[in-house]
Amino acid sequence: MECEEKKFLQAVELLKQGEVVAFPTETVYGLGACIFYEEAVQKIFSIKKRPSDNPLIAHIGSLSDVAKLAIDIPDAFYTLSSAFWPGPLTIVLKKHPAVPALVSAGHPTMAIRMPDHPLALRLIQAVGEPLVAPSANLSGRPSPTQASDVKEDLAGRLPLVLDGGECSIGIESTVVSLIDPIPTLLRPGSISQAQLESVLKCPIRLASEKDPACSPGMKHRHYAPRARVQVVLYPERPSTSASYLISSEPLFSALVFNRRNFYSRLREADRLGAEEITIYCGPSVQQDAGLMNRILRSAGLL
């Protein structure tokens, strides 16, 4: 415990000095840097090999941080943040001119989230500034949901990984934009469109997956293991000859997956040297827009 506390203090110092540190959130592990420290933000892109046109999400430790990051904040922001923060919802607003353009990949908008994880919140508060924090993996690979996943991808490329155990949610945040008068869902996640609409009391629009102006990062290949991925929707029952089988329900001898362990199942398959993964999706998963998005992306189908 003493050792963990020492690592926490080290993480705070490293971040203040412009270094990059990995830390747990409730969604996936993040690779953090101070948002106002351009050189540190640049390090994130090079460590992850992230394309520079893929914008970063600011992680905040208190609601008052929003004023440093965004301008012209609409009422809908306060409705959503009081319902879902801290939590797995990212809200896109108009960017404050003080935020480096590198963060938003040159866009005039800014994505912001308050994570629901005690270690993440404490870290951001101790540093005293918002942190940008994309997932702490190599770009394109399945996201990391435990500290060992971060080390698998990035060992030797960053000075410190804070270990907070397994992430409780396991897929990235829902992203909603409040730039236009009608809110737009840019990325599905564990908070559903229906939940957002019921809190906002108005319908929200779904961004087209192919619309780069709406959701700049969505065009890049994402969440993919090294193995080829095949997706099967029940009730079709294809052959079971694939080398690694995972299923959303008990089926054949397939390993069961859910939101929380989906990425670690993909990583396990890679570690075992599987050449092909077949993902069987039962009815409940087919209705989970957030998880289906990650499944289809892992197969290169989105």
What residue ranges bind Mg ion (CB under 5 A)? 135
Question: What's the closest the beta carbon of residue 16 comes to ligand AMP, in angstroms?
Answer: 22
Question: What's the closest the beta carbon of residue 199 comes to ligand AMP, in angstroms?
Answer: 20
Q: How many CB atoms lie within 10 A of CB 218?
A: 20
Q: Which is nearer to Mg ion, 135 or 173 (CB)?
A: 135
Q: What is the DSSP string of 76-143?
A: HHHHHHHHH-SSSEEEEEEEPTTS-TTTTTT-SEEEEE----HHHHHHHHHHTS-EE--BSS-TTSPP
Residues 6 or more apart whose CB falls under 8 angstroms from that of 68 comprise 96, 98, 99, 129, 130
Q: Determine the residue type at 203.
A: P
Q: Which is nearer to Mg ion, 59 or 242 (CB)?
A: 59
**φ and ψ of 81, to 5 deg:** -70, -35
Q: What is the DSSP string of 250-276?
A: --TTPEE--TTTHHHHHHHHHHTT-SE
Q: Report strand pairing: 244-247 vs 70-71.
A: unpaired
| Burial of 52 per CB tally in 10 Å (0-12, 13-18, 19+) | exposed
Residue 87's binding partner among Mg ion, ligand AMP, none (Cβ under 5 to 8 angstroms by kind) is none
Q: Which is nearer to ligand AMP, 7 or 96 (CB)?
A: 96
Question: What's the closest the beta carbon of residue 169 comes to ligand AMP, in angstroms?
Answer: 12
Q: Which is nearer to ligand AMP, 135 or 278 (CB)?
A: 135
Residues 6 or more apart whose CB falls under 8 angstroms from that of 3 comprise none
Give the residue nearest to Mg ion (CB). Answer: 135
Q: Distance (Å, rounded) from C-alpha 256 to C-alpha 234?
A: 14
Residue 167's binding partner among Mg ion, ligand AMP, none (Cβ under 5 to 8 angstroms by kind) is none
Question: What's the closest the beta carbon of residue 180 comes to ligand AMP, in angstroms?
Answer: 12
Q: Which is nearer to ligand AMP, 77 or 244 (CB)?
A: 77
Residue 190's binding partner among ligand AMP, Mg ion, none (Cβ under 5 to 8 angstroms by kind) is none
Residue 31's binding partner among Mg ion, ligand AMP, none (Cβ under 5 to 8 angstroms by kind) is none
Q: Which is nearer to Mg ion, 135 or 261 (CB)?
A: 135
Q: Which residues bind ligand AMP (CB under 6 A)?
A: 54-55, 57, 92, 104, 107, 109-111, 134-135, 172, 175, 186-187, 215-218
- Residues 188, 296 contacting (CB under 8 angstroms): no
- Residues 163, 5 contacting (CB under 8 angstroms): no
Residue 55's binding partner among ligand AMP, Mg ion, none (Cβ under 5 to 8 angstroms by kind) is ligand AMP
Question: What's the closest the beta carbon of residue 133 comes to ligand AMP, in angstroms?
Answer: 7
Residue 215's binding partner among ligand AMP, Mg ion, none (Cβ under 5 to 8 angstroms by kind) is ligand AMP
Question: What's the closest the beta carbon of residue 150 comes to ligand AMP, in angstroms?
Answer: 14
Residue 274's binding partner among ligand AMP, Mg ion, none (Cβ under 5 to 8 angstroms by kind) is none
Question: What's the closest the beta carbon of residue 181 comes to Mg ion, in angstroms?
Answer: 29
Q: What is the DSSP string of 197-255?
A: HHHHTS--EEPPTT-TTT-GGGGS--S--SSEEEEEETT------SSEEEESS--TTPE
Give the residue nearest to ligand AMP (CB). Answer: 217
Question: What's the closest the beta carbon of residue 94 comes to ligand AMP, in angstroms?
Answer: 10
